[in-house]
Amino acid sequence: MKLVRFGQAGQEKPGVVDAQGVVRDLSGHVTDIAGAVLDDTSLQTLRGLDVNSLPQAPAGVRLGPCVGQVGKFICIGLNYSDHAAETGAQPPSEPIIFMKATSAICGPDDVLRIPRGSEKTDWEVELGVVIGKTAKYVSREEALDYVAGYCVVHDVSERAFQIERQGQWTKGKSCDTFGPIGPWLVTRDEVADPGQLAMWLKVNGDTRQNGSTRTMIFDVAHLVSYLSQFMSLQPGDVISTGTPPGVGMGMKPPQYLKAGDVVELGIDGLGTQRQSVRADD
């Protein structure tokens, strides 16, 4: 299934995409794509619905973030061997973990706002993993059983805030609109191998990132198991698993986003995003 949330920001309704690509309204069956709705039993119930009998969402309706009520937005740094190489960093021996504020979350096609004082706003296409049931001390072998599905995440980063302003990375990762998620949450039964997904990102039509989850250092099963040793993962938590090479910081000379730019990105089978870049008010 491809699950979505549609409508005005903060007022999204749950939906599902039918075989023709039309968004259908699920609000008669669930209140949101969040929490307990993401466990295997609830997802199986949704699979049993006659999708074509559900009301259609209005044509051209805004798509919101594909997961609601996100408790934790966990990110993995330097998780692609070729991206680590372009930054001059040694591949990590254990996953590098940082948190992104949930207030950064927005819809896949919402305006991307460059924060005040920013000089180095950068792009990063990433595979998002959405947790479906509580995971605590889970093994690698069972880890994927705790995944509800996958989505596209744009892990937007302000490099000066992240690297040059002291402390950890969080302040450079958490600005408003720095976490577009979606368009869809694709349930895990429709993703044969999350380690074999092509991914790409363009700025103003020029390809900047063209990679694959094949070059992940730590795969999805490893990450879910690893994280669950340090914190319980709850339904609706999102793990953003790192980015392939081609970020602005790694270019020579470095290039960054500016007002008026258009960013497009996608992952095979998980949909695409498109954001117009504006200066924040």
d(CA 211, CA 1): 25
What separation in angstroms does the CA of 61 have from each of 21, 56, 68, 161, 193? 13, 10, 17, 34, 31
Task: Judge residue 263's burial from the number of C-beta atoms within 10 Å of its C-beta, 0-12 exposed, 13-18 middle, 19 or more buried.
Answer: buried
pLDDT digits (tens, 9 = 90+) for 125-155: 999 999 999 999 999 999 999 999 999 999 9
Half-sphere exposure of 38 (CA within 13 A, CB side): 32
Q: What is the pLDDT of residue 167?
A: 77
- CATH superfamily label, 65-279: Fumarylacetoacetase-like, C-terminal domain (3.90.850.10)
49: enclosing H helix or E strand: none
Per DSSP, the three-state class of 171 is: helix
What end-to-end distance do the CA atoms of the chain give, in Å? 38
User: Residue 14 contacts by C-beta under 8 Å, 6 or more apart in sequence?
Assistant: 3, 4, 5, 25, 26, 27, 30, 31, 32, 33, 37, 68
Domain map (residue ranges) of the chain: 65-279
Q: What is the pLDDT of residue 86?
A: 74
Q: What is the pLDDT of residue 78?
A: 87
C-alpha of 84 from chain center: 20
Question: Could you say which residues of the chain have pLDDT below 70?
Answer: none
d(CA 103, CA 98): 15
